[in-house]
Amino acid sequence: MILFFNIFFPFLLVFFVLIALKPLIKFLKINKIVDVPNYRSNHEAIIPKGAGIILIPILSISIILYSYFGFISRSPWFFLSLLMLIICFFSFYDDIKNLSSAKKLIFQIVIVFLGISLFDKQLSIFLSKNFQIGEIYLNQNIMKIILYIFLSMLWMWVMNVFNFMDGIDGITAVQVVFFSVGIIILSLMGTIDRQYSYIGILLFSVFLGFLYWNISPSKIFIGDSGSIPIGFFIGSIIVSSFINEKGFISICLLVIYYLSDSSITLIRRIVEKKNIFLAHSEHFYQKKVRSGFSHDYVLRYIIFINILLLLFSILYTKLGKTAVILALFTVLVFLFWLSKGRFRKNND
């Protein structure tokens, strides 16, 4: 049984995703669920979008299956998988209908609140351990509200970052694959719980299969139906590591490039008084592509940075703050390099 779930089932997942996406591509083309290039696009062809409608149900069902056999704890992962499915279907509807930002924001707030509520018991334990001065306990209710707000904002940001950063061929698949490898290694090292190795295996298998179709030139985009729920799920892993005080920094280092590119871009747009809810192409990686470099070229360097961040994540248990400083310096240098191009693409 263990051999099947450790080796054979992941291989079946990769194969199933590879097979399942082919007819989906045809279906999306026939029904005109496609991404049509415009002035801010980083591609020139009309590409089907919505791979998430296959990837997320497969991932969710797999997690539920592993939880049933005891490899992954049912709480909270069984329920988080169900929430991920709900996000997937809502976002696929958004892929088709283009819902307003207000409706999407309200939906995300509700979903994240439901997600946070699954960690209520762990939050109480966290508060009792960390918010005490001598023999005096700080007001638990107030601190719980503050923590709820902080973690909700963090969770929503990670969820949206994965949507914002899905702008060139292969980038989301590569990020999820490296994140998966990272939590598998951290789990085997004992930095985080053993169940994360199984979560990592499932994530890795599903997105490795997707990468085949999404690598440049992409045959299909993941769409909001995939990028938002996978961002939600990775956000849940980050939030869980924070509450349980296991591997939070190491896990964050795995996605520090994604977080840095999006956060700096958001701050810059706020300073420039631009509409932060309006879609744009001002991320650092987008600037590199729009300055004339190919998707493959930029993605190769993103893969290299992810290798370094994976190394820093592993070394954090030994080097501590030094690993964090090295990771941040590496990312800042990379962002600077991305911002420099050889020529400007005409947007007209």
pTM: 0.92
In a domain, 346, yes or no: no
Q: What is the mean pLDDT of the chain?
A: 91
pLDDT band at 37 (very low <50, low <70, confident <90, very high): confident
User: What's the CA gap between 270 and 101, in Å, rounded?
Assistant: 17
Q: What is the DSSP letter of 5?
A: I
**Structural domain harbouring 150:** 2-339
Would residue 268 count as lying in a domain? yes
pLDDT number for residue 348: 31
Question: Within a 10 A sphere around the Cβ of 295, how many other Cβ atoms?
Answer: 21
Token digits of residue 138 = 């700080």
Residue that has been written with the tokens 């791979």 in this structure:
51
pLDDT in tens, 280-305: 788 999 989 888 889 999 999 999 99
Per residue in 92-106, pLDDT (tens digit) is 999 888 888 889 999
Q: What local confidence, expressed as pLDDT, does residue 332 receive?
A: 96
Q: What is the pLDDT of residue 124?
A: 84
Whether the Cβ atoms of residue 201 and residue 59 lie closer than 8 Å to each other: no
CA distances from 76 to 46, 119, 162 (A): 39, 7, 22
Could you tell me if residue 285 is left (phi over 0), alpha (psi between -120 and 50 degrees) or otherwise beta? alpha
Number of structural domains found in the chain: 1
Q: Does residue 348 fall inside a structural domain?
A: no
Q: Does residue 347 lie within any of the structural domains? A: no
* Domain assignment present for 345: no
Sorted by sequence, the CB contacts under 8 Å of residue 73 that are 6+ apart come out as: 67, 195
| 142 within domain boundaries | yes
Please report, for residues 27, 181, 184, 217, the alpha-carbon distance to residue 197 in angstroms, rounded to integers and kept in the order given.
34, 9, 4, 31
CA atoms within 13 A on the CB side of 253: 30
Q: Side-chain half-sphere of 169: how many Cα atoms within 13 Å?
A: 22
The pLDDT of residue 1 is above 50: yes
Whether residue 128 is contained in a domain is answered as yes
Q: What is the tens place of the pLDDT at every residue in 212-270?
A: 999 989 999 999 999 999 999 999 999 999 999 999 999 999 999 999 999 999 999 99
> Is residue 39 over pLDDT 80?
no
Confidence band of 132 (pLDDT split at 50, 70, 90): low
Identify which of 240, 241, 207, 242 has the alpha carbon closest to the alpha carbon of residue 226. 207
Q: What is the pLDDT of residues 156-176, one digit of tens each?
A: 999 999 999 988 999 999 999
